[in-house]
Amino acid sequence: MNTASLTAHELMDRIKIGGITPARIVDDVLARAQAVNPGTHAFIRFADKITAGEGACPLPIAIKDNICVNGSLTTCASKILEGFRPPYDAEVVARIKAAGGVILGSANMDEFAFGSSCETSVYGPSHNPWDLKRVPGGSSGGSAAAVAAGQAVWALGSDTGGSIRQPAAFCGVVGLKPTYGRVSRYGLIAFGSSLDQIGPITKDVRDGALLLNIIAGFDPKDSTSVNAPVPDYTRALGRDVKGLRIGIPREYFIPGIQPEVLAAVRAAIDVFKAQGAQIVDIALPHTAYAVATYYIVATAEASSNLARFDGVEYGLRAFPAVPRKGKLIDMYEETRAQGFGAEAKRRIMLGTYVLSSGYYDAYYLRAQKVRTLIKQDFEKAFGACDVILSPTTPTTAFRIGEKMNDPVAMYLSDIFTIPANMAGIPAISIPCGFDGAKLPVGLQLMAGPFAEETLLAAAYAYEQAAPWHQARASL
């Protein structure tokens, strides 16, 4: 039995009947993870102590390196947080541990989640298990690569503008961004506080529902957490989608999409039609402004959030070889100069600029108004449909280094995922085919706020009618 290739629910079924033990699962998955990590670089580091879990769901999981694990190095893949060991668990980690989950280690990521390719990590890039010369996507590239390569049963990522869904699409796995406020952000090192959301990256939709069951729910430690009942998301799986209204936004089917991606997504629409779903043409007219709006709002919030990393309380502290202005200011400047990478500096400068006196109204305030229009587009659309369908990404995984010197091209990798974050709605990416180079294609579904059950039901219905989720990267 190839333990590392099995889904979480398959492993749980085998545990129940005595076909396998939690200790065997941990041993097998850890051995696989360590054996293939030199190729994928999905993990930055493995946990200091890894033992068999005890509890309802004792399975190994990869944790993105921006989610705090008590006593373990948590660095956001940045030099500025070298040596930082949080004195507490993120709420999602606490819930996973309470369920018996085993933390395998820290998954690689773009530095501070700034990226779409997992290339800005200070530890070096991760590699796509389907083609090691290509990116796994970002910023949760390590998490997606680990799941796709069988290095973890499942993983946690964070999604600010597509950072769960885009790497899930590139790596041929399932990535779910819950509704903003559905999952606690306590212990997530912030990038964009009004956009960030933690979510599951899994081998199939049922696993996504299972992991969401564990991590979802109100947390008084997070002021943005919503106090609302949490259903058993697995009960939504298997619902008939006959009559389900699926919206097709014309703004998401545009020139420039890789033809094989477009063909795979259109074939997925035909699958839903065959199941009796109703296909509805819809409009999301402010989509064209989403990327520009996002890179104002997100960088402004990043500039504010990253101001705390100054070398005083934790992480890197550096001084110039020759004092320049005075000891304290020299330390601030040298620490941030050495500690942040090029993309982090770019976003901090952009954010500081749009928040600065004389530019706040022209950029940040205007962007917030456009964000409201984007949110209203979705509200109107969900009056006509239950789920919105689109490609997750315009292309399949690109080559490592291909877009590193063209930030705009890199940012456009998230053109279809960003709007869901701007509106705060749940969205999922599921595999829907391969291109001619045998690289996975992702299908994105979006639903209204807190309609994860509808989202998962639709995703599961498609998954059961298509074979794509069963494919495994061979490395």
CA separation for the pair 152, 30 (Å, rounded): 8
Q: Is 345 a residue of the active site?
A: no
Q: Is 78 a residue of the active site?
A: no
Out of 64, 177, 203, 403, pick the active-site residue: 64
Among candidates 428, 459, 454, 382, which has minimal Cα distance to 178? 428
Out of 72, 126, 139, 429, pick the active-site residue: 139
Parallel, antiparallel or unpaired: strands 245-249 and 387-391: parallel
CA separation for the pair 113, 384 (Å, rounded): 34
Parallel, antiparallel or unpaired: strands 60-64 and 387-391: unpaired
Specify the amino acid at residue 184.
S
- Torsions phi, psi for 65 (to 5 deg): -75, 5
The DSSP code for 361 is I
The DSSP code for 128 is B
For residue 320, count other CB atoms closer than 10 A to its CB: 13
Task: Kindly state the tokens that stand for 425.
Answer: 């709605």
Q: Is 223 a residue of the active site?
A: no
For residue 463, CA distances in Å to 207, 268, 347, 406, 431 come to 12, 10, 37, 35, 8
Which helix (H) or strand (E) segment holds residue 308: the answer is: none
Which helix (H) or strand (E) segment holds residue 345: the answer is: helix 342-355
Out of 78, 163, 413, 429, pick the active-site residue: 163
Question: Which residue in this structure is represented by tokens 């989608």?
Answer: 241
Taking CB atoms within 8 Å and a gap of at least 24, the contacts of 80-85 are 80/309, 80/311, 80/315, 80/316, 80/335, 80/336, 80/338, 80/339, 80/340, 81/189, 81/309, 81/314, 81/315, 81/316, 81/339, 82/315, 82/316, 83/314, 83/315, 83/316, 84/314, 84/315
| Residues involved in catalysis | 64, 139, 163
